[in-house]
Structure 1
Amino acid sequence: MKRTLKFTFSICLLLAAFLVNAQGEQKKDSVAPPKISRYGLRVGIDLFKLSRSFYEKDYKGLEIVGDYRLTKSYYLAGEIGNENKTVKDDHLDFTTKGTYFKAGFNYNTYENWLDMENVIYVGLRYGVSTFSQTLNSYQIYNANPYFAEPPAIQSAEKFSGLSAQWVEFVAGVNAKVFNNIYVGFSFRINKLVANKKPSGFDNLYIPGFNRTYDGDFGVGFNYTVSYFIPLYKTKSAVANNKVKK
């Protein structure tokens, strides 16, 4: 019993000493530690294209993504990849194969707290793709619905040396889930600025650009996991917080 009382009394003394010390500290100007900002290279892979290659038999694709932090809010960014896509619709069956590269920047609109490193960004890319198209089969348009549809005409005509260039508006998120590990997603709207078409055919699908709509517009999406390689750190001054006496 005596030992319990002594232990309780000791705890009370320690708490009292802590409270007195804390009260004394509050009378002083409190100085927040400087905020540490890390700069470096983030490299990852598009899980959407990778997983799609397994569950969609007419598609194979791989995309590597990366960005490099230049300033507090600006990042150099880009993607490189390849795609092999077969498109089948009511009148056409064709296969597109090729590679692409995109380069541009991201602007981080999110103000992180303390040592958080999340990114909510908008950005621009300039994309370049080189590819080939193979017309597998096609069906002649039947203007008279009273007659049966003619059979599809098999073909193996290949169009090589094709290319396209476009500008791309990007909006996305990168969130830190573990130390140096990030997951993110982005949505893209594309506008063609150059398009080398084959004779007698059209570029209906462009690697990196996706399916073309109304001739020169496209949309895209990716879901990424990436690893951050820190290269150096900077300290930003934080204003002193003065506590009233």
Structure 2
Amino acid sequence: MRTQSILKYFISLGIMLLAAQGFGQVANDTITPATQVAVPAAKSDRYGIRLGVDLNKIAKGFYTDDYRGLEIVGDYRLSKKLYAAAEIGNEDYTIDDRQVNFTATGSYLKVGFDYNAYENWLDMENMIYVGFRYSIASFSQTLNSYKIYDDRLIIDGVRYLDEVTVVSGREYTSLNAHWAEVVGGIKAEVFDNLYLGFSIRLNLLFADKKPDNFDNLYIPGYNRTYAGSFGAGFNYTVSYFIPLYKKTAKPAEADTP
């Protein structure tokens, strides 16, 4: 009898130990210490100035006769999505059309903003953007020569229409123009802080000072004026970003990882 009592005691003790071990395992599975929860680090965005040049105007000087042009582009980050933007440039272009040969020379300034619609991941700073520019140009035009038709040529009693080139050289100065641009483009980081970009511009000319007995056939920064008040243009840019400071993004502004 004593042996059976001792055996029952050990069996009861073993059952109690197994039950206690199972309860402890359940507690460990359902309660996670606060120190084991991973807290993501706050993301910070870089703010600064991006400066560059228009490669299209530089290249055009090599493959187009009588053209010289330079455009400097820049933007400054105002917020997570909004950038102040500007372009300043100069052009000297001699155009030889069928009826007229003229030279347009002058400078222009464009100021406005870009809105970045692209959602960057992690530390990326690429842009797919839309924007607006208010633009002004100050320039001069020189009428080098023009062609007229003279019907005074008579050979063997037959009147012929003769084309005559008239050399002018008349210069029209103190001209100006104002227009607006709607911009769409991209900027992609190819190396650390180095960006390549491309943009398309739709222009609306709403004021220009025209010379007497002539017209503004080409406006620096605006392009040709064949389509009246509407025009178009584009540029290819290479630019470098100069970081000035960092700003911690708010939780609602954090990029999706």
TM, length-normalised to structure 1? 0.82
Choose which of 25, 29, 48 in structure 1 pairs with 2:56.
Answer: 48
Structure 2 alignment gaps of length 5 or more:
1-31, 152-158
One-letter amino acid of the structure 2 residue matched with residue 185 of structure 1: F
Closer/same/farther in 2, CA of residues 79 and 142 from structure 1, 3 Å limit: farther
Tell me the distance in 2 between the aligned counterparts of 1:85 and 1:36: 46
CA contact (8 A) 1:140 1:152 kept: yes
Of the structure 1 ranges 46-55 and 198-207, higher mean CA displacement relative to structure 2 is found in: 46-55
Match of 2:115 in 1: 107
| 1:28-75 per-position Cα deviation (integer Å, ceiling 9, x unaligned) | 533322222100100001111011112212210000000000001110
Q: What residue number does 1:81 align with?
A: 89
Quick one: which amino acid aligns to residue 104 of structure 1? G
C-alpha separation between the residues in 1 aligned to 2:232 and 2:167?
Answer: 30
Separation in structure 2 between the aligned mates of residue 232 and residue 83 of structure 1, nearest angstrom: 35
Indicate the residue corresponding to 1:3 in structure 2: none
CA deviations over 1:170-213 (Å, ceiling 9, x no partner): 00111111111111011101111110000000001000001113
Is structure 2 residue 226 aligned with structure 1 residue 218?
Answer: no
Amino acid at match of 1:131: F
Corresponding residue number in structure 2 for 1:206: 219
AA paired with 2:132?
L
- In structure 2, which of residues 142, 147, 168 is the aligned counterpart of residue 134 of structure 1? 142
| Corresponding letter in the other structure for 1:99 | S
Q: What amino acid maps onto 1:105 in structure 2? A: F
In structure 1, the gaps of 5 or more residues are 1-23, 241-245
Aligned residue-pair number: 214
Larger Rg: 2
Q: Distance in 1 between matches of 2:41 and 2:62?
A: 49
Q: Assess if the C-alpha contact under 8 Å between 1:46 and 1:223 holds in 2.
A: yes
Contact 2:149–2:164 (8 Å) recurs in 1:
no
Partner of 1:118: 126
Offset at residue 127 of structure 1 (A): 0.5
Give the secondary-structure state (helix, strand or coil) at the position aligned to 2:163.
coil
In the alignment, what sits opposite 1:169? Answer: 182
Does 2:168 match 1:188?
A: no
Equivalent in the alignment of 1:16: none
What CA distance in whole angstroms lies between the structure 1 residues aligned with 2:76 and 2:150? 54
Q: Partner residue of 1:11?
A: none
Map 1:20-39; keep pairs closer than 5 Å. Answer: 28-39=36-47
TM-score by length of 2: 0.78
Contact 1:61 1:83 in 2 (8 A): yes
The one of 160, 165, 173 equivalent to 1:152 is 165
Q: How does 1:61-100 map to 2 (within 5 A)?
A: 61-100=69-108
- Mapped to 2, the partners of 1:28 and 1:170 lie a distance apart of 49
Kept after mapping to 2: 8 A contact 1:32/1:238: no
CA distance in 1, matches of 2:181, 2:150: 38
Corresponding letter in the other structure for 2:43:
K
Residue 49 of structure 1 aligns to a residue whose secondary structure is helix
Q: How large is the RMSD of aligned CA atoms in angstroms?
A: 2.2
With over 3 angstroms needed to count, the CA separation of the structure-2 counterparts of 1:149 and 1:174, relative to structure 1, is farther
Q: Which amino acid aligns with 2:144?
A: N
Note the 1:224-235 alignment, pairs <5 A: 224-235=237-248
Paired-residue identity, %: 56
Query: Offset at 1:169?
Result: 0.6
